[in-house]
Structures are given as structure tokens and as C-alpha cells.
Amino acid sequence: MEINGVKLSERYQLNMSNYSWCHGTKCHKSHTQDRVRGSKGSKVLRTRKIKENNWNHDRWTKYFCSQSCMYNFIEKHIQRIVAIEPRNEPLETPIEDPTKSESYYGGLNITERGVDTST
């Protein structure tokens, strides 16, 4: 895709009409002015519409209008989210044994070395 002679990578080729609705479980219950829709006598609170752009197209902000909505969704669906990739064993990263050395000001500097296999 080219805009004014500048070729854009695939990452930035977004359709200007790409929208999604907020996935927050309580988004449609928040009383804010931008969520009120309808004519007099038949007003409703509607979930926010989120426009996809270069900054949110591969982030959580593409699906949630706020952190509150994201955490509401996680709270409701945490069991199914964790079931996607269950963890039955701890993850470990090998390091060298830690050593202590005195610093110039009398404090201690601790350098990480080795793997702690005592637990």
C-alpha cells in the first residue's frame, strides 16, 4: 500500500473502518455521556466502539476501552484464559551463584551467579 508515494509495510496497512466493540463485561452499564444512545424516551447505554489504529492493532487496547473493562473481562473469564496454556510446573532461568563484594561506600554489591537448587 502506498500513501503519497510512500510504501507502507503490512503492519501499518489498516482499513480506516476497522472497529471493534469493547469486550468489557460491564462496559454497557457505565453511566457516561459517550455511552448514551437513542432518542428521547428510549435511551440505552451502549458498549464503547474502539477504532483500530497503528498504536493499538496488536495490543489489548484494540479490544478494551479501558483497564477497568479489561480487568472485568479477565475476572469473569480467568479459568478459561488459564486453561489455554496451563502451568503445572514452575519456570526457571539458570543464573550463576550469587557472590558478595564490598562497594566503595561500605555497602554490599550482590552479583547473581548459578542456579539455586536448594528448593
User: 27-85 pLDDT, tens per residue?
Assistant: 888 778 777 888 888 888 888 888 888 888 788 888 898 999 999 999 999 999 999 99
Q: Return the pLDDT at 9.
A: 54
109 in a domain, yes or no? no
Residue 55 is assigned to a structural domain of this protein = yes
Q: Which sign does the torsion angle of CA 11, 12, 14, 20 carry?
A: positive
Residue 58, in any domain of the structure: yes
pLDDT at 103 over 90: no
Instruction: With respect to residue 30, please indicate whether it lies within any of the assigned structural domains.
Output: yes
| Spatial distance between the Cα atoms of 66 and 22, rounded to a whole number of angstroms | 9
* Residue 110 located in a structural domain: no
Q: Which residue has the cell 510446573?
A: 89
In a domain, 22, yes or no: yes
Average pLDDT, the chain: 78
Structural domain of 64: 2-84
**Banded model confidence at residue 117, pLDDT cuts 50, 70, 90:** low
Residue 73 located in a structural domain? yes
Residue 111 banded pLDDT, cuts 50, 70, 90 = low
In a domain, 25, yes or no: yes
* Number of structural domains in the chain: 1
